[in-house]
Amino acid sequence: MSEQSTDLRETVRRRYAAAAVKVTEGSTTCCGPQPVEIDENFGSTLYAADERDALPADAVAASLGCGNPTAVAELRQGERVLDLGSGGGIDVLLSARRVGPAGKAYGLDMTEEMLALALANAANAGAANVDFLKGTIEAIPLPAHTIDVVISNCVINLSTDKPAVFAETFRVLKPGGRIGVSDVVADDALTTAQRAERGDYVGCIAGALSFAEYRAGLEAAGFTDVDITPTHAVADGMHSAIVRATKPAAGPAATVSRAESDSCCGVTACCTPAEQVTDPSLTVGDAKSAAGCGCRNEDR
């Protein structure tokens, strides 16, 4: 990763860490948490009132997205869902309700403060079918072909390596899996410099791909049936959009070895109840700690 990319990632991390701290500190006051405001195009107002009312106030207050991906992902009972850049956990908790006890909702975030907030929100919601992982969306700490649906809410545009995000998303999806993402997308006519003029990187504007670039990136990763539908403007020539795509159910692009599918982080069937160490001299916790795995069970 280049020095500039590292600096941008750290800038994003600090911004979202500060947002989590603001919400957490607000929870200790008499008036409860205050929403982290950007403008009317982002945040909890993009969710239906009944969805907001059913969740912990801290999860709602920490919402920084540009849409509501759980409303468009068509989640089904029993599915396994992964939210890229899960923040305070609002989309993970909504997904967990939709997939039911037989399903599972994972949240992935690189910010310790947001992960702590999300875990607290999950506990307050009594959500037993959720798991929050620490890691980056460019290197997802889950094995291949284990996720039915990947969602994300205005986070992919923050990445400085979007091809890696698309490739990793494709890898973890099962054949026939799909994405349902809310993201900021630019008009094709806007140059990179013009996008930067409309907002900073942390504000979800400067890093946005154009419609053509987004489509090309997903197709290069192997996705088919790509559909990008703008929903509302967030700046001149910049739009919140719903992005859908599918991983082919069969064929060369969906074929991997059993070893790739079953192992990561030094264990087989990683992040599932059936996981076992590949090195019998280690415990599961030790193997995953050494590998830097985001989902750990140190008690096993």
- What are residue 233's DSSP bridge partners? 239
**Between the CA of residue 118 and those of 106, 131, 197, what are the distances in Å?**
11, 10, 33
Burial 31-42 (b: 16+ CB within 10 A, else e): eebebbebeebb
What is the bridge-based pairing of β-strands 267-268 and 276-277? Answer: antiparallel
What is the amino acid identity at position 108?
Answer: L
Distance CA 299, CA 92 (A): 24
Distance CA 187, CA 239 (A): 8
Our CA dihedral for 160, 64, 67, 146, rounded to 10 degrees, sits at 60
What is the amino acid identity at position 242?
Answer: I
Contact 58, 23 (CB under 8 A): yes
Question: Which H or E run contains 21?
Answer: helix 3-27
Distance CA 122, CA 129 (A): 9
Q: Helix crossing, 211-221 with 162-172: angle to 10°? A: 40
Distance CA 60, CA 149 (A): 22
According to the model, what pLDDT value does residue 255 have? 44
What is the amino acid identity at position 196?
Answer: A
Q: How would you write the pLDDT of the chain (300 residues) with one tens digit per residue?
A: 545 445 554 554 455 445 544 444 554 443 344 443 444 444 444 444 555 444 444 444 444 445 566 767 789 999 999 999 888 888 898 899 889 999 999 999 988 888 888 898 889 889 999 999 999 999 999 999 999 999 998 889 888 899 999 999 999 999 999 999 989 899 999 888 888 777 653 345 567 899 999 999 999 999 999 999 998 888 888 888 999 999 999 755 444 433 344 445 666 656 655 566 555 556 777 666 655 565 654 444
DSSP state letters, 196-258: HHT--TTTTSTTPEEHHHHHHHHHHHT-EEEEEEEEEEEETTEEEEEEEEE--SSSGGG---H
Compute how many other C-beta atoms are within 10 angstroms of the C-beta atom of residue 236: 10
Contact 295, 131 (CB under 8 A): yes
Q: What DSSP designation does 283 have?
A: -
* Residue 111 CB partners (closer than 8 Å, separation 6+): 13, 16, 17, 20, 87
Strand (E) positions, the chain?
A: 80-84, 104-109, 130-134, 147-153, 173-186, 209-210, 224-235, 238-246, 263-264, 267-268, 276-277
Q: Model-level pTM?
A: 0.70
According to the model, what pLDDT value does residue 47 have? 44
